[in-house]
A and B are shown apart, each in its own frame.
Chain A
Amino acid sequence: MRYGETGFNLEIDLSRGNIERVENDPVDTELYLGGLGTNAKIMWDRVPPEVDAFSPDNLLIFSAGLLCGTPAVGCNRTIVTTISPQTKLLAFSMMGGFWAPELKYAGYDKVIIRGRSPSLVYLYINNDKVEIRDATHLQGKGSNETTDLLRQEVKDSNAQVAAIGLAGENRVFFASIEQGRSSASRAGIGAVMGDKGLKAIVVRGTRDINVARPAEFHGLCSEVLQYIKKREDNPIPGVMPILAGLGSPQEMKIHDEKWHTESFMWGNSRVRRKDFWTEEVASEWTQTLENTRTRLISCYNCPMKCGGTISIPGLPTYMMKCFSKLTYTMAAFSDLDFGLKIAQRATEYGVDGFSTPQVMAFALELHENGILTDDDFPEMPSDSEGRFYYLLDKIVRREGIGDVLANGTYWAAQEIGKGAEEYAHNNIKKIEQLPLKLSMLNPIYFLMYCTGEKINITQIEGQFPQMPFPKREQREEFVKDWIQVPDDRFKQYFLDWELRGDNSMPFYPTVEMCCDIVDWQEKMHYIDDALGMCAGLSSFPLKPPYHIHNYPKFISSGAGIDMDEDKLTQAAKRYRTLIRAINVRRGMRREDEKPPEDHWKKRFPELEKDLLDTYYKFKGWNEQGIPTKESLEELSLDYVSEDFRKRGILTGNGDTPAADTPAKEEKE
């Protein structure tokens, strides 16, 4: 018997209309865990680097995490993996909500989609009944609209629906997959779904998920629940309210937006408004949220309330999560009322809340600076809010300039030319980043920005405080119950970290310490993504309930895989390295690994070089960021090493890469 997982994947070929239920290999689960880990293995095996995002040969994998469907609190994430049209690298966006556990109860760990349907379809999964059904009547419908219609169509209000809106259908490079209160948004995976002609996946299941050692597993879950309770009653002092508790940053709950509105950039990630948060703004925005937010809501089996139901008079109700609360507001130099209103339309269209507002602000900046002209924006309104609605519609429908902008700022700038590249200034690996422009280099964040392959800072940071606490007594207090650290040395790093003086940034934490810290931060995200755990209860917040010390017990007693900290660390390193290998095979090299040029004002080129060199070595990668033969073999990834040798990415007798990397040739 399989525990935790079901042991079966669904293989769907949309070109041929073929559906197969295929047993998956438990050995792969042991090596790559599940979720992201086994997704990466499938992508490596079946999607060679020649395959484009919009090729029928590209796979779109919806995977439940290994422990989704068990009572592990907050373990509900769907990990969607494909090749991104925006980065041309691996995209592995995730979503919480209710979809992944439902898939498990239907009897499947993954839905693996290949091919392209000649007309718009949806996939209906109801236990053993799996059908590809016509969806032409849903063409152009919003994501929430589609969900509603499909629930009526299958006559089951408990069915869970993951759907794209018009943006996905029109292959907008930053289209999302929406699922009620959650979405998998980054890197344009909704565009791949649209390219495949797949409007939605409806899933309903009434089967059992078994755990290997029930009493032990239940005990662990209860401990987590008790810890959450305790942690929520005792917020961490000295950090801002949205980061003091657990969960995603509590954007739907908390009204005080001083930090975001005054520290983050407005417009096209340009303008800092240091005295923005006045009492007047605070009271107006508080009122806006109070009047529209009808309820704080959760994902499956989680007591945290990171989402909100937003009901604005005259508009359909929708559910909002996290920071899209402010991204439209700030990009348009507007207010919260506008932000919540346009987010309703954006959610129905199904677009990423980080990229979309920046693309629109970028377009308006090009217009202001004469690179784009009035002719590019026929009949555009004159007010900022009106312009955002106008641009959103143009982009999602790919009309006129919208067709260019729909490819994101990087590709749009390439196409527009005339110096437009300078305005696509906030990207890493071609993806729009959080609008942050800061003064002095933070060495920990430098490494995360450079090397994070989810290419979003929130998907690699966490656990370790963002800044030193001013007083030693505060730091001593903080480390007292810091049980999550893999080793006590991390406590020392933090204890000695000062705001000023010898032990301050950028030279403290030292290069070696930074590598150690970043490796820990990243590792926890990768483990979450294999297990299906929400980062909000694990890798993201300070002092989370899940950590490297209790995870092995969850896996052992839940999935029945004999696990300890070393084995888990090794497994996470294995699929993390495999993801790097997939991207290396697609041409990613050191030159791609850099923060936006203007992210920090004060830069330290020598230190930065040292940081990256040392971190690469620490990770078992060579100076180009390519995993070495030795490190690959140590991780039982010999097949990667062999492939690299064949492709000339690594030379046969060692780990030295060819001087002219394939990536470079391609770019020239």
Chain B
Amino acid sequence: MGEKKKKIIKTIKVDVDKCNGCRACEVICSAFHAEPKYSSNNPARARVRVIRHPLRDIYIPVYAGEYAPAECMGRDQYTIEGKEYEECAFCRASCPSRDAFKEPDSGLPLKCDMCESDPELDEPMCVQWCLNDALIYETREEEVEEDAVAQQEEVEIGLEALAGKYGLQNVMDAVARMSKKD
């Protein structure tokens, strides 16, 4: 049996019906993550984007998620209540198929960090600046089972796959290099 661990799950609930399309979330996100803090403003650096098509009444705040080095093999396009959303509209990935969620200068991927900072904020900045409550911050505590045995198995499966692809020697070299860095 693994031991039980408490984990805080942070969620931003997005109510697209309440979004008024003002992009304040983008504005304050880029300011908050500027270095030094609040020194510069540029929504292209924001980790949240409002996908807007005003004449089609489409406003979706989407948060930057994982970096994807390659495009998906297929794309999806949703139609909800008669509104046709653009390809990949709800996807959080910073990926080669689009400009969103990349630093405009370097092209490096951006990712929402829930405004992690010290001292911790009560709510991420985008939520604080959304007076229309399209963005609501919620946290909950979950107990997760950390099963050491299962984890070990997963690591082995992963390594086997890498060894199959790159050869065992290469994987061993990589692990050796990584352990030296630490």
Find A298's partner among B20, B51, B53, B129 (CB 8 Å cutoff).
B20
Asked whether, in the complex, the Cβ of A105 is within 8 Å of the Cβ of B42, the reply is: yes
CB A163 to nearest CB in B, in angstroms, measures 13
Residues of B within 8 A of A311 (CB): 57
Residues of A within 8 A of B24 (CB): 73, 301-303
Cα A316 to Cα B54 with chains together (Å): 12
Write the A174-209 contact mask toward B (1 if CB under 8 angstroms, else 0): 000000110000000000000000000000011111
A225 at the B interface (CB under 8 A): yes
Cα A218 to Cα B121 with chains together (Å): 15
Q: B27-35, B66-74, B112-120, B162-170: which lies at the A interface?
A: B27-35
With A105-B44, A206-B42, A318-B55 given, is the CB distance from A215 to B20 under 8 Å? no
CB B122 to nearest CB in A, in angstroms, measures 13
Asked whether, in the complex, the Cβ of A295 is within 8 Å of the Cβ of B39, the reply is: no
B52 at the A interface (CB under 8 A): yes
B132 at the A interface (CB under 8 A): yes
**Residue among A158, A215, A305 facing the most chain B CB atoms (10 A cut-off):** A158
Find A71's partner among B31, B57, B104 (CB 8 Å cutoff).
B31
Within 8 A of A (CB), among B37-54: 37-45, 51-54
Asked whether, in the complex, the Cβ of B23 is within 8 Å of the Cβ of A300, the reply is: yes
Asked whether, in the complex, the Cβ of B20 is within 8 Å of the Cβ of A305, the reply is: yes
CB A659 to nearest CB in B, in angstroms, measures 55
Classify chain B's interface size: 20 to 34
B172 at the A interface (CB under 8 A): no
CB A427 to nearest CB in B, in angstroms, measures 34
Residues of B within 8 A of A296 (CB): 20
B131 at the A interface (CB under 8 A): yes
Residues of A contacting B: mostly? loop
Find B129's partner among A210, A225, A319 (CB 8 Å cutoff).
A225
Asked whether, in the complex, the Cβ of A214 is within 8 Å of the Cβ of B52, the reply is: no
CB A211 to nearest CB in B, in angstroms, measures 6
Q: A105-B42, A208-B41, A317-B55 are in contact. List 6 more A-B contacts (CB 8 A).
A: A98-B23, A211-B38, A215-B38, A229-B131, A300-B22, A300-B27
Residues of A within 8 A of B130 (CB): 303
A495 at the B interface (CB under 8 A): no
Residues of B within 8 A of A73 (CB): 24
| Cross-chain pairs A/B with CB under 8 angstroms, 15 sampled | A71-B41, A98-B23, A208-B34, A209-B41, A211-B41, A214-B31, A214-B34, A214-B37, A214-B39, A215-B37, A225-B128, A225-B129, A298-B21, A299-B22, A319-B55
Residues of B within 8 A of A297 (CB): 20-21, 54
Residues of B within 8 A of A180 (CB): 54
Residues of B within 8 A of A98 (CB): 23
Residues of A within 8 A of B51 (CB): 157
A289 at the B interface (CB under 8 A): no
Within 8 A of B (CB), among A209-266: 209-211, 214-215, 217-218, 225, 228-229, 232
Write the A280-306 contact mask toward B (1 if CB under 8 angstroms, else 0): 000000000000001111111111010
Residues of A within 8 A of B43 (CB): 105
A58 at the B interface (CB under 8 A): no
With A71-B27, A303-B131 given, is the CB distance from A295 to B57 under 8 Å? yes
Asked whether, in the complex, the Cβ of B37 is within 8 Å of the Cβ of A319, the reply is: no
CB B74 to nearest CB in A, in angstroms, measures 21
Asked whether, in the complex, the Cβ of B44 is within 8 Å of the Cβ of A302, the reply is: no
A117 at the B interface (CB under 8 A): no
Residues of B within 8 A of A70 (CB): 41
A627 at the B interface (CB under 8 A): no
**Residue among B22, B42, B45, B56 facing the most chain A CB atoms (10 A cut-off):** B22
A598 at the B interface (CB under 8 A): no
Find B38's partner among A144, A207, A214 (CB 8 Å cutoff).
A214
A148 at the B interface (CB under 8 A): yes
Asked whether, in the complex, the Cβ of A303 is within 8 Å of the Cβ of B40, the reply is: no
Residues of A within 8 A of B131 (CB): 225, 228-229, 232, 303
A309 at the B interface (CB under 8 A): yes
Cα A288 to Cα B56 with chains together (Å): 20
CB A206 to nearest CB in B, in angstroms, measures 4
With A71-B28, A105-B42 given, is the CB distance from A294 to B104 under 8 Å? no
Residues of B within 8 A of A536 (CB): none
Residues of A within 8 A of B39 (CB): 210-211, 214
